[in-house]
């Protein structure tokens, strides 16, 4: 019998429980959901929970240098530049009752290291967060193999990574990996309008042009970027998981596909 094979008579052991509708539409996917029960971790520049568009955090950590390595340590919530606060505010606007967590891997000026990114991501995966929003990427080739392994570990372990595509045409990661949900921007004003892209590596387009977002020092600005498209998909995913917490990353990606505005089964 080959390795990783299923023996005769054991199919009941892998039966997928739960009924699915004849058509997966938006009402089935997230109708009536507020995102309650879904845990969303933002790997970014931190989050300011005092911003009126964000509200409380369920936990706050940072990937900080520790002797000759980097460790994830608990810290009071902070965001030195506003980028993570923007992502958190977008998620909260769509899924107001989801649980938000922050892992800060960027500092002032939105700068950070690839090693801090890897350390923060690995820690978030080990915590078992259902959703991780990554509105950032690295171009450093020496981190690609390890980052790819972490993306697969997340996918197989029940964590869906939602990652923004780079704003310029260049090789960067992890958004290019098949195990993540990669997101680019569109210009439509409706935050619930998103499209499936039949020509990957960008899989979905979500609102990301001229978006009003919370920013540093309790301010609100209008900005454009794929960084702000990704948390729209994260927020919608939180709504779906709030209603259907049993979904695996594969199933959740499938539901996103079937409810995209340009797919025939969308309502």
The predicted structure's pLDDT at residue 266: 47
Residues 264, 94, 179: CA angle, nearest 5 degrees: 60
* Digitized pLDDT (tens) for each residue of the chain, 267 residues in all: 787 788 887 778 777 777 788 889 999 999 999 999 999 999 999 999 999 999 999 999 999 876 678 999 999 999 999 999 999 999 999 999 999 999 999 987 777 788 999 999 999 999 999 999 999 999 999 999 999 999 999 999 999 999 999 999 889 999 999 999 999 999 999 999 999 999 999 999 999 999 999 999 999 999 999 999 999 999 999 999 999 999 999 999 999 999 999 997 544
The predicted structure's pLDDT at residue 170: 87
* Two tokens, residue 3: 């390795």
For the entire predicted model, the pTM comes to 0.94
CA dist., res. 256 & res. 136, Å (int): 21
CA dist., res. 85 & res. 57, Å (int): 11
Kindly list the structural domains of the chain, giving each domain's residue range(s) and its CATH number in brackets, ordered by start: 38-258 (3.40.50.200)
**Residue 181 CB contacts under 8 Å (≥ 6 apart), including other chains:** 160, 161, 162, 163, 203, 204, 233, 237, 253, 256
Handedness of CA 193, 197, 201, 203 (dihedral sign): positive
Phi-psi region of 159 (alpha: psi -120 to 50; beta: other; left: phi over 0): beta
* Two tokens, residue 149: 């392994």
The predicted structure's pLDDT at residue 67: 64
CA dist., res. 133 & res. 233, Å (int): 9
Q: Please answer whether residues 133 and 234 qualify as being in contact, where contact means their C-beta atoms are separated by less than 8 angstroms.
A: yes
**Residue 56 CB contacts under 8 Å (≥ 6 apart), including other chains:** 49, 100
Q: Please answer whether residues 216 and 48 qualify as being in contact, where contact means their C-beta atoms are separated by less than 8 angstroms.
A: yes
Distance of CA 262 to the CA centre of its chain: 21
């Amino acid at each position: 019998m080959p390795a990783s094979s299923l023996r005769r008579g054991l199919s009941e052991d892998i039966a997928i429980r739960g009924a699915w509708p004849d058509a997966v539409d938006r009402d089935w996917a997230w109708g009536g959901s507020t995102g309650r029960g879904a845990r969303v971790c933002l790997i970014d520049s931190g989050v300011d929970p005092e911003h009126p568009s964000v509200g409380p955090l369920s936990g706050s950590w940072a990937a900080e240098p520790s002797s000759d390595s980097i460790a994830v340590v608990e810290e009071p919530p902070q965001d030195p530049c506003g980028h993570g606060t923007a992502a958190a505010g977008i998620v909260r606007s769509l899924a107001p009752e989801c649980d938000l967590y922050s892992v800060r891997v960027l500092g002032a000026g939105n700068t950070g290291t690839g090693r801090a990114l890897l350390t923060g991501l690995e820690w978030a995966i080990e915590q078992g967060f259902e959703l991780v929003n990554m509105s950032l990427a690295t171009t450093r080739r020496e981190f690609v193999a390890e980052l790819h392994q972490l993306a697969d570990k997340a996918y197989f372990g029940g964590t869906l990574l939602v990652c923004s595509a780079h704003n310029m045409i260049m090789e960067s990661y992890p958004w290019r990996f098949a195990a993540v949900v990669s997101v680019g921007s569109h210009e439509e004003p409706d935050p619930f309008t998103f499209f499936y892209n039949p020509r990957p590596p960008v899989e979905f387009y979500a609102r990301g042009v001229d978006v009003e977002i919370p920013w540093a020092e309790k301010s609100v600005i209008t900005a454009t970027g794929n960084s702000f498209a990704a948390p729209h998909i994260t927020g919608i995913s939180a709504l779906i998981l709030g209603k259907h917490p049993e979904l695996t990353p594969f199933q959740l990606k499938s539901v996103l596909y079937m409810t995209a505005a340009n797919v025939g089964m969308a309502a």
